[in-house]
Structure 1
Amino acid sequence: MKPYIKIRGREAGPVVHYNMSFQIAAIVLVLLVTVHFILQKKLHDTGTKIFLAVLLLGGLYIVLDFLGTLLIFAYSRENAQLIELLLTCFYTFDVLFPCILYGYIRNMLKSQEGRFSSVRRILLAVIPVFMLILVWGNIQTGWFFEFDGQNDFVIGPWHFWLYIYDIVYVVLVISHLANNLRGYNQWKRYVFWEFLLVEGFCMGIQFYTESQLLSGFGMALGIILLYLTLSNSGDCVDGMTGIFDKQYFDHWIQEKIRRNTEFHILAMEAYRLKQVNKIYGTSVGDQLLIQIADGIRTVTGSSQIFRVTGNCLLVVEDSLTAYERDRERIQAYFQKPLEVGEEKVDFPVVICGIINGQKMGQEDMLVGYIEYLAGLVRNTDETVVIQSDNRILEGFRYEKEVEHFLKTAVEQDLFEVYYQPVYSLKEKRFITLEALSRLRHPDMGMIPPDVFINIAERQGEISQIALLQFRRVCGFVKENEQIMEKIKNVKFNLSPSELMKPGYSQKLIDVIREYGLKSEYFQFEITESVATEYSESFCSAVEDFNKAGIQLCLDDFGSGYANLNAVLKVPFAVVKIDRSLLNGICSDVQAADFYRSIVMIMKSMGYMIVAEGAETEEEVELLGKWGVDMIQGFYFSRPLPEKDILKII
């Protein structure tokens, strides 16, 4: 069924046929997308609402375009006035559709944009009104369409202005979406421009050929593009647990923060997951996560559940009442063993509670704060609830400020080196120095070393910092070579990441040679936790140091659970006993006997012994009686800056 068309002004032009195949295909495509979109799990965020508006309005546009074509087929003299009136109504929607869609999108994103200028507001109001007047005037004038004496549909001389009008609004809608949907990746923003190109291309073909009704088909293709790339909730669901993933959480929660919408978070940190995987296997660990996700969904009744890291699930509640209710339910849920097959597994978690999460400002701050809260709980076998408060939040913000400042400190080399002298009980003088990194913030003052060092290790910057600091140490020694006459060596701490990094040991040796210093003048301190790993990279580093004549010092011995067999494989020259073992040696017989036994064993194996942390005269006297070689502690000296260490040497 193909109606004939004559174009006004073409007296001898060829007969043109409407092709309705693209209209039918467009309706089928939009129906399929609508069904998939409705059936998918999703949260009602701005992106979802906008796409739903595009889907409904676009679908209505396509259907009305199809019905308008059917009316052209049904035209006869008997129903001429009714059909012309209905077609005028369809043309009216053709004018209103772009305007309504643009206004709706602006309203949904009003929190991100400024007001219209007066001129722009007038233009956006006047142009649609003017177009509507022209459309309804068509009944008398035939400016856009009319039926001739042979009942053929004839396009009027102003019909092409409808295409221009639509294109203008398509550009406005797409550009506005592209500029405001900040949560999407850059490459996804190009989809809006693809939508523009597809719709513009189809409208251009329809305008040129007059017979191929492609504007609705272009709309359908554009809707499919938006669905597949921006509004396909299936792409934002965690494949294992079936709950929403971090990508969706970032976008969804950032919108709530931007709109200052109240929300509260309960995060479950499954810190035992690694242990469960080792004991029962990863398949059991995966089943536990699936079971936990289902359990949390059941006890809370919430759909706002996310998996933001491998072992962290969280629930977002919109009211404080729901938050407090779910906190108790979740805590009760994890106090019972979980069953996986025939196994009953105790699976305690750390439940982190954050009230008024919108005040955090950014989604990455929220995730970082959850990790910070979970990190405050150590060595527990029970489910623990840790509730955010002002004191904890201040601690987190302090670390974030240090983290931000650390990048500047690395770029500008703002670190300092302090030296703590080590006292020889035999020679009655300082015979070695330990180089210690320090960092001073312009406003917060001196930052505790354990704070910025831990942050640097998390960010992967510790190797770069250590290399900068070691250069500073070598430069200090080179400028003050007289200290080498009194100080036997300088000790420098190395972190696990440095020792595990291939080729890093050779970089340190090259720095020593660059300053023309003897390698034997340096000792590198290694913690017992690193020594027990004894990896291939670590062995290679130890071999490089031995070849260069650099001695190794075992640092913080006794602070952990060392595998002595692995430790003894490393050719240490010095063992530093951790300060924690000094606790109670002056009053507790067992503590004293334990410390003395360690000294005796290590001395019998040929190690030089350094006692860390001595602060009283009584402690120093006991350590001397037990055969300790050197003492490093506040009793003799605190870590000092370069100018002060030169004075006491």
Structure 2
Amino acid sequence: MTYNVDYEICALVFLLLLMLSLLVIKHINDSQSKAYLILLCVTIFDLIFDIAGSIMINNCEYAPRGLNFATNTIFLLMQSILPYFLMVYVVILGSTYYSSKKKIFYIVSAIPAGFMAILTIVNIFVTTVFYIDDKGYHYGKFHSLFYIFSVLYMILSLGYTFVIPNNIRRRKKMIVLAMVVMIFIAVAVQFMWPTYNITGAGVALSLFILYLTVENPAAYRDPLTMALNRTAFLHKTDELRRTGTKMEVYTLALDNFKMVNEVYGMEGGDKVLEMLVRDLKRKVSKNDVYRYSGDIFAIVLSGKAVGSRGVRDIQKIVEQQWELKGIELDLSGCICHIPAEYKIDSPKNLIRSMDHMIAEAKKKGKGSVVELDDAMIETMKRRSDIEQALMAAVETGVFEVYYQVIYDSARDSFHSMEALARLNVPGYGYVSPEEFIRIAEQNGLITKIGMLVLEEVCRTVKEEKLWEYGIDYVEVNLSVVQCMRETLDVEIMDIIRRFGIPNKMINLEITESAAAYSEKTLVQNMERLRKAGIEFSLDDYGTGYSNINYVAELPFSIIKIDKFFVWSAFKDEKMRKVLKNTIETFKNINFKVLAEGAEDNIMVEGLKEMGIDFIQGYYYSKPVPRKQMVEFLRKANGKKDGISAD
């Protein structure tokens, strides 16, 4: 019987080149990568001894019997453990770390591999696996167990991937399935035609698929600086977190690096980043420097803590005198430090912590240092709890709305009201709209929340018949993000039509900053909605750009003067004159003017003397829930039954 080793030789050459590639391009240092390297090494040795053993069997009359027997024994030892290491890799692929909880599973599942390894060694004396005589190589009665246990480990791999709950994503599951199918076909072919040594080639092809899809070092490298990238950073920190290994995370966010690119060009800026990474690797951490994003870098130190010394080391590198094209260059950067004693419980929270710290450092100024502390953790916890409350409100489809009445000076009654979103966060109570609206804008929930608030307002208008209480319209706030949506007008009109209320019952409030951010899209939406009978108010005038010419060009009906502007006018005579002139100017160009923040009778009478149209503030009523608002209107305005909304 002559064995064909052509496929195995090709597979061996291929895997040797693959190994060389991994050695040249430094790989991420984690459990999954280590498991892959072990599997690769075992496969290479398996192929070497398979090829050598097969050649000796093919030339049995010339090969020394002892060497022939030893070579094939080593090959079968490799065959004993190879399926086991393949299964271990699949398990680690699903958990990305070697957990102590899995040790029992690893030990128990190693029993078949251990049994076959012992059987192979004992075969020296009892020849129950194979034997060699003058006629050549012969299978023993237990030789078929190699095939049986190989299939067993493949079944265990598939079972772990598709049956047991794990962290393997669908893409990786498909990769594992393709691997197992490929190896199974190779094993089945070799079982039916023993002279075709093809199992090793099947494993080699599977390893190559893994290299292309999961283990490619290039996928974890920043091609410019050759630092590890953000994916590698999350991979590494997650493994350290799961294994309970202490780690310190340093973040370096360069200051005004855009200026470097503008002065020296993109090529010069890239060169500076390369030099920076080179020095960070040389002086801080050889293997754990990561390009987190553009001009932000992360360094992970595990094991022994270095604390503030790490910050000083990074500062020295950044603040050294740099030279580019013969020109001296100064760099600065904000440094953030997460000490080892703070254990971040998830990759998401780690990113959130780093982003928060970078933002805080940038607020403090160039070259600032921020270290994670209990107060910062509490701030981030508060933000997380607010996000959870926002998501819960969106999921239930109900958002709490309060109403604050608006006084009409000419009619001497309350003619409208403003709808104000409220959020009750467990453990904190009601939080400021300024706080949760900003968070909702950042996490993408603001559009849904805005529509939920509008729905609740329309529901209140319809069910309470607010027009019977003398209410002409309800003001609803639009965020910056909503104003940037090209479909805003369609979304708003759909909700109003669904509740069947007159379009004029809704007035939309927009801040100065929102108008500036999205002027073109906003004006188009405003024009379409105004044609449908919906009016607009400019909110918080006096806090932003405060450009009257700019405001006059936009199709607003009402200008709402911010409460801080109003308050300052009643504390300073000059500001009082500014406020009076502002009101007169807007009225002269046919705007209605509303003053926010009226808190006492002196302010109310003073505003009336200035010719203000509408007044809003705690003097009349604080924002109250729907039922209290209706009761207030019943007492203040009275109810006029039979009045039509039209």
Same fold (TM over 0.5): yes
| Structure 1: distance between partners of 2:229 and 2:346 | 17
Give the secondary-structure state (helix, strand or coil) at the position aligned to 2:99: helix
| Structure 2: distance between partners of 1:342 and 1:519 | 67
Partner of 1:416: 400
| Structure 2: distance between partners of 1:44 and 1:586 | 66
Shift of 1:64: 1.8
In the TM superposition, 1:431-470 aligns within 5 A as 431-441=415-425, 444-470=428-454
| Structure 1: distance between partners of 2:273 and 2:488 | 39
Partner of 2:32: 47
Q: Is the 8 A contact 1:304 1:317 kept in 2?
A: yes
In the TM superposition, 1:156-167 aligns within 5 A as 156-167=140-151
What amino acid is the match of 2:501?
L
Q: Deviations over 1:105-157 (max 9, x none)?
A: 8799552745648xx977853x45654565456456654433444x4333445
Residue in structure 2 matching 1:503, options 454, 471, 487: 487
Give the secondary-structure state (helix, strand or coil) at the position aligned to 2:398: coil
Partner of 1:250: 234
Q: Is the 8 A contact 2:291 2:297 kept in 1?
A: yes
| Structure 2: distance between partners of 1:163 and 1:575 | 82
Q: Is the 8 A contact 1:183 1:254 kept in 2?
A: no
| Structure 1: distance between partners of 2:127 and 2:563 | 96
| Structure 1: distance between partners of 2:355 and 2:82 | 47
Shift of 1:325: 2.1
Identify the range of structure 1 (156-165 vs 539-548) with the bigger mean alpha-carbon deviation. 156-165
Partner of 1:330: 314
Q: Deviations over 1:509-551 (max 9, x none)?
A: 3433443433223321111122224544222211112212222
When residues 271 and 18 of structure 1 are mapped into structure 2, their CA distance, relative to the original with a 3 A threshold, is same
Q: Is the 8 A contact 1:271 1:350 kept in 2?
A: yes
Partner of 2:54: 69
Q: Is the 8 A contact 1:524 1:550 kept in 2?
A: yes
In the TM superposition, 1:549-564 aligns within 5 A as 549-562=533-546, 564=548
Partner of 1:20: 5
Partner of 2:244: 260
In the TM superposition, 1:554-633 aligns within 5 A as 554-562=538-546, 564-582=548-566, 584-633=568-617
What amino acid is the match of 1:239?
P
Identify the range of structure 1 (277-286 vs 394-403) with the bigger mean alpha-carbon deviation. 277-286
What amino acid is the match of 1:34?
M
Q: Deviations over 1:599-621 (max 9, x none)?
A: 34333333222222233555445
| Structure 2: distance between partners of 1:305 and 1:183 | 26
Partner of 2:636: none
Shift of 1:65: 1.6
Give the secondary-structure state (helix, strand or coil) at the position aligned to 2:343: helix
Shift of 1:434: 0.6
What amino acid is the match of 2:540?
D
Q: Deviations over 1:227-263 (max 9, x none)?
A: 2222211112233443222222222221111112111
In the TM superposition, 1:12-161 aligns within 5 A as 17-73=2-58, 75-76=60-61, 79-81=64-66, 83-99=68-84, 109-111=97-99, 113-114=101-102, 116=104, 125=111, 127-128=112-113, 131-132=116-117, 134-136=119-121, 138-139=123-124, 142-149=127-134, 151-161=135-145
Shift of 1:272: 4.4
Q: Is the 8 A contact 1:50 1:105 kept in 2?
A: no
When residues 334 and 423 of structure 1 are mapped into structure 2, their CA distance, relative to the original with a 3 A threshold, is farther
What amino acid is the match of 1:469?
V
When residues 201 and 592 of structure 1 are mapped into structure 2, their CA distance, relative to the original with a 3 A threshold, is same
Which runs of 5 or more structure 1 residues have no equivalent in the other structure?
6-16
| Structure 2: distance between partners of 1:350 and 1:621 | 51
| Structure 2: distance between partners of 1:527 and 1:276 | 35
Q: TM-score, normalised by structure 2?
A: 0.85
| Structure 2: distance between partners of 1:184 and 1:130 | 30
Q: Is the 8 A contact 2:90 2:176 kept in 1?
A: no
Q: Is the 8 A contact 2:583 2:610 kept in 1?
A: yes
| Structure 2: distance between partners of 1:291 and 1:634 | 60
Q: TM-score, normalised by structure 1?
A: 0.85
Give the secondary-structure state (helix, strand or coil) at the position aligned to 1:539: helix
Measured on the aligned residues, the alpha-carbon RMSD in Å equals 3.7
Q: Is the 8 A contact 1:260 1:358 kept in 2?
A: no
Shift of 1:95: 2.9
Percent identity at matched positions?
27
Which runs of 5 or more structure 2 residues have no equivalent in the other structure?
634-646
| Structure 1: distance between partners of 2:389 and 2:308 | 36
| Structure 2: distance between partners of 1:311 and 1:301 | 18
In the TM superposition, 1:348-497 aligns within 5 A as 349-356=333-340, 359-376=343-360, 381-425=365-409, 427-441=411-425, 444-481=428-465, 483-497=467-481
Q: Report how many aligned residue pairs link the two structures.
A: 630
Shift of 1:284: 6.8
When residues 560 and 314 of structure 1 are mapped into structure 2, their CA distance, relative to the original with a 3 A threshold, is farther
What amino acid is the match of 1:432?
S
What amino acid is the match of 1:91?
L
Shift of 1:307: 3.2
1:217 equivalent in alignment to 2:201: yes
Give the secondary-structure state (helix, strand or coil) at the position aligned to 1:359: coil
When residues 636 and 317 of structure 1 are mapped into structure 2, their CA distance, relative to the original with a 3 A threshold, is farther
When residues 294 and 104 of structure 1 are mapped into structure 2, their CA distance, relative to the original with a 3 A threshold, is closer
When residues 153 and 339 of structure 1 are mapped into structure 2, their CA distance, relative to the original with a 3 A threshold, is same
When residues 414 and 331 of structure 1 are mapped into structure 2, their CA distance, relative to the original with a 3 A threshold, is farther
1:305 equivalent in alignment to 2:293: no
Give the secondary-structure state (helix, strand or coil) at the position aligned to 1:44: coil
Identify the range of structure 1 (448-457 vs 42-51) with the bigger mean alpha-carbon deviation. 448-457
When residues 376 and 621 of structure 1 are mapped into structure 2, their CA distance, relative to the original with a 3 A threshold, is farther
| Structure 2: distance between partners of 1:602 and 1:338 | 56
Q: Deviations over 1:467-506 (max 9, x none)?
A: 2221221221222225554233221111222222223213
Shift of 1:318: 2.1
Q: Is the 8 A contact 1:237 1:245 kept in 2?
A: yes
| Structure 2: distance between partners of 1:612 and 1:450 | 16
What amino acid is the match of 1:440?
N
What amino acid is the match of 1:417?
V
Give the secondary-structure state (helix, strand or coil) at the position aligned to 2:246: coil
Shift of 1:274: 6.8
| Structure 2: distance between partners of 1:514 and 1:80 | 90
When residues 196 and 631 of structure 1 are mapped into structure 2, their CA distance, relative to the original with a 3 A threshold, is same
Give the secondary-structure state (helix, strand or coil) at the position aligned to 2:501: coil
| Structure 1: distance between partners of 2:63 and 2:623 | 103
